[in-house]
Amino acid sequence: MKNSGDYIIVETIIKIEGLSKSFVNKNTTVHALDNIDLDIYKGEIFGIIGLSGAGKSTLVRCINYLEIPTSGSVIYMGSNLSGMSVDKIRKTRQSMGMIFQQFNLLAQRNVLDNVCFPMEIAGVPKKNAEKRAIELLKLVGLEDRIKAYPAQLSGGQKQKVAIAGIIAMRPECIIFDEATAMLDPSGRQEVMNTIKRLNKEYNITVLHITHFMEEAVEADRVIVMEKGKLALEGSPREVFSNVARLKEIGLDVPYMTELAHLLKEDGLDIRDNI
Ligand code: ADP
């Protein structure tokens, strides 16, 4: 999403049409995704929430074709992934960075060398790679830790090193799959600030799977998944105004939403989308 003066240009980066994915194990079939239609816009922070097993990881793994959908299509930057050769899919996937819950750093390499590692593999000349890495480490606030080893960093710092390494590859979008789940509140805040900063400065599209509602509130749009289907979709304000539905799904609501809901139940005149 680009703000161009008086109007906002909305460009779809990922278009999902009738997407289904089933897993067959012995005699049982799990419908992990059931006929999902979705547009993700360029430059937005897109939050994905839902109970464990709702299909969140399968959705993002189908988006980058680590899982082949059972049916339906994923159109990424105008190209249908299902028609692509394995080689083209691999190249396309390189423009979708991924950050996981566990910190994917090499213990025997320092911070600078960890950020340079993906660029090294891609054949970026060492000097250019180091220059780009230092620039990104400044952006994530770790320029004074370039010689430190992963064991000397906090969880939040480790995750920021991983993020810098992915961003150095200049992806169009970045997928966070519960990337803050292992962090303490201050680490989570550090990572969230980094996500927002990268999104703003590089216009990178962010797909953020999280079970922390306070993080989902910071997205531009949010979906709630339930048993492989889209249960709710909209701005955080719209989604979190459905307190009864969210509770029925089994999800918490952000603290302020809960408070407003209770006050309303007590008779106070409070708007639903407070
Ligand atoms: P979430 O990310 O919301 O926790 P997942 O996408 O991991 O959910 O899983 C959705 C459903 O699909 C779950 O029932 C899970 O057990 C099942 N599932 C996911 N991956 C596989 C797999 N590789 N083989 C069999 N079942 C799977």
For ligand 1, mutation pick of 22, 28, 30 (most atoms within 8 Å of CB): 30
Residue 69 CA to ligand 1 centre (angstroms) = 13
Looking from the CA of residue 59, the nearest atom of ligand 1 is 6
pLDDT at 49: 97
Token pair belonging to 63: 């988006």
What proportion of the chain, given as a percentage, has pLDDT over 90?
Answer: 81
In 28-118, at which residue ranges do the beta strands (DSSP E only) sit? 28-41, 45-50, 71-76, 79-80, 96-99
Please state, for a pLDDT cut of 70, what percent of the chain lies above it: 94
**63, pLDDT greater than 90:** yes
Q: Cα of 261 to ligand 1 centre, how many Å? A: 33
The confidence score (pLDDT) of residue 274 equals: 60
* Higher-confidence position of 239 and 252: 239
pLDDT (0 to 100) of residue 4: 57
Q: Do the beta carbons of residue 29 and residue 35 sit within 8 Å?
A: no
Confidence of residue 102 (pLDDT cuts 50, 70, 90): confident
61 residue type, one letter: R
194-221 pLDDT tens trace: 999 989 999 999 999 999 998 999 999 9
- Name all residues whose Cβ lies below 6 A of ligand 1: 23, 25, 30, 32, 50, 52-58
pLDDT in tens, 2-45: 565 666 668 999 999 999 999 998 889 999 999 999 999 999 99
Q: Which residue's alpha carbon is at the smallest distance from atom 17 of ligand 1? A: 32
Minimal-distance CA residue to ligand 1 atom 20: 58
Helices (H) and strands (E) in the chain, counts: 10, 12
Task: Give the β-pairing of 71-76 and 229-234.
Answer: unpaired
Residue among 20, 21, 22, 23 whose CB has most ligand 1 atoms within 8 A, to mutate? 23
CA distances 137 to 68, 112, 161, 208, 262, Å, are 35, 8, 7, 21, 44
229 Cα to the center of ligand 1, angstroms: 13
| Cα dihedral 206/212/214/215 (nearest 10) | -10
Q: Provide long-range contacts, Cβ within 8 A and 24+ apart, for 50-55.
A: 50/224, 50/225, 50/226, 50/231, 50/249, 50/251, 51/226, 51/249, 51/250, 51/251, 52/211, 54/225, 54/226, 54/227, 54/228, 55/21, 55/225, 55/227, 55/228, 55/229
What is the pLDDT, as a whole number, of residue 114? 97
Kindly write down the DSSP assignment for every residue of 105-155, as one continuous string: --TTS-HHHHHHHHHHHTT--HHHHHHHHHHHHHHTT-GGGTT--GGGS-H
